[in-house]
Amino acid sequence: MQVSPRWARTLLAAGIAAASATPCAAQAPGDDPPVAGTLLRWFTDSDHVSVRSLSGDWSWPMAHASDLTFHYNNERVQIPGISAPPGSQQAIDAITTASRPISGNAFQDFEKVRNEAQTEYERGPAALTYYVSSESDYLAQQLGGRWNRDFREQTLNLSLGTSWSWDDIQPVADDDTRTGPARKTTLHWNAVMTEVASPTLIVRYGAEYNLVNGLQHNPYRNVYAGGTNVPERHPESRQRRDAFVRMNQALPNRSSVKLAYRFYNDDWGVNSHELDSRLSQYVTRGLSARWEYRYYTQTAADFFRDDYASVNGIGGFLTGDYRLGPLSSHLFGGSLRMDLEAFASTREFLRRMTLWLDVERYFNSNNYSANVVETGVDFRLP
């Protein structure tokens, strides 16, 4: 199915208008207390790239059964000095898809800062969202809407969501960058159904569709083809879709198991499968532990090759992006969550806090590995 940009904008406007106009009658939100949370996250990988994230989340119940939420994130990416020519694979890749352009001396650490903010207004069954993310060569903005409704005595919930995002890309000076200012747009639709299947089981099914248009390759990356280095070139349009099912089962002895499966497919030829499992257990009142394992595998894009015989690549497209090649990965994780209400029942300030710690180990078939440590605190406001 092909959706033109004009149709895409029309569909998005219709979705957001429907979300905005829906009366707040289907349910009674705003029953949660106001919450403020902060998160500190460290990421390090086998290439010695490090990322420090500091984020905050606030949620306020408001009049007319509505809620306002705000999210902020400041991220500092540090890519170590390297001995690599401009455009080479190792010169540019980092987590958060931050890129390292090479201009002059590449032997010094490269640092990049990204700031993002998101606000959401939810009233009754409808919600509107605005998101903005800014870094030195990338500005992303997104406008979204969501509507949901309960059925069957509130045991079945249907949620429909849509968003439109537009990214402005301004590649910074690089020794061989030839890409000028560019733009990328994404139209997103999702339908999610959640069902209370039994007193101990919740099941969620969903399908998502993304239509991406514009610059989708890395402007700093080159590909070795036909005996020379040429800039990477991806198609300008990509249709991405996925379907997923997730099950949360409460178990005896204050524990639970969560299972999830996702299938993804796009018109570049990438198919992927993802399996995720989580086992949670209360150690004592207010303290819970969780173990996680995730397996992921994908096929390569149609135009992905280890070596290109010609500078024209495959059908005019070339990529040096390993994420478009065959790939499998594993993730192991463990976390602890402590609700201080159970430990400091007489101290009002402490009672409102929840602390958590999350440690993960990720590795994939490209000899890439990473460690992630997250720690955070959530505070329930009076």
Partner 1 sequence: MRSPTRLVLATLLLSLAACGCATVPVRPWQRERLVDPIVAFRAEAREDARKMKTFEAREGSTGGIGGAGGGCACK
Q: Which of residues 244-283 bind partner 1 (CB under 8 A)?
A: 244-246, 248-250, 254-256, 260, 262-266, 270-272, 274, 280-282
318 touches partner 1 (CB under 8 A) = no
298 touches partner 1 (CB under 8 A) = yes
As measured in angstroms, the least distance from the Cβ of 344 to partner 1 is 18
Q: Which is nearer to partner 1, 149 or 305 (CB)?
A: 149
Q: Which is nearer to partner 1, 271 or 310 (CB)?
A: 271
Q: Which residues of 293-319 are buried (b: 16+ CB within 10 A; e: fewer)?
A: ebebebbbbebbbeebeeeebeeebbb
SS3 of residue 18 by DSSP: helix
Q: Which of residues 114-133 bind partner 1 (CB under 8 A)?
A: 122, 125, 127
Distance CA 309, CA 50 (A): 36
Structure tokens at 297: 């595998």
Neighbours of 213 (CB within 10 A): 19
Check if the beta carbon of residue 338 is closer than 8 Å to that of residue 375.
no
143 touches partner 1 (CB under 8 A) = no
As measured in angstroms, the least distance from the Cβ of 228 to partner 1 is 26
210 touches partner 1 (CB under 8 A) = yes
323 touches partner 1 (CB under 8 A) = yes
Neighbours of 345 (CB within 10 A): 11
As measured in angstroms, the least distance from the Cβ of 175 to partner 1 is 24
Q: Which of residues 342-361 bind partner 1 (CB under 8 A)?
A: 358
State which of residues 88, 99, 157, 213 lies at the interface with partner 1 (CB under 8 A): 157
As measured in angstroms, the least distance from the Cβ of 366 to partner 1 is 9
State which of residues 18, 26, 68, 359 lies at the interface with partner 1 (CB under 8 A): 26
Q: Which is nearer to partner 1, 76 or 246 (CB)?
A: 246
72 touches partner 1 (CB under 8 A) = no
Q: Which residues pair with 289 in a beta bridge?
A: 281, 336
Q: Which residues pair with 40 in a beta bridge?
A: 54, 375
Structure tokens at 129: 């969202």
197 touches partner 1 (CB under 8 A) = yes
Distance CA 243, CA 264 (A): 7
CA dihedral 133, 138, 139, 144 (to 10 degrees): -60
What's at 214, amino acid-wise? Answer: G
As measured in angstroms, the least distance from the Cβ of 356 to partner 1 is 9
47 touches partner 1 (CB under 8 A) = no
Q: Which of residues 80-109 bind partner 1 (CB under 8 A)?
A: 95-97
State which of residues 85, 206, 214, 226 lies at the interface with partner 1 (CB under 8 A): 206
38 touches partner 1 (CB under 8 A) = no
Q: Which residues of 113-143 are buried (b: 16+ CB within 10 A; e: fewer)?
A: ebebebebebbbbbbbbebebebebbebebb
159 touches partner 1 (CB under 8 A) = yes
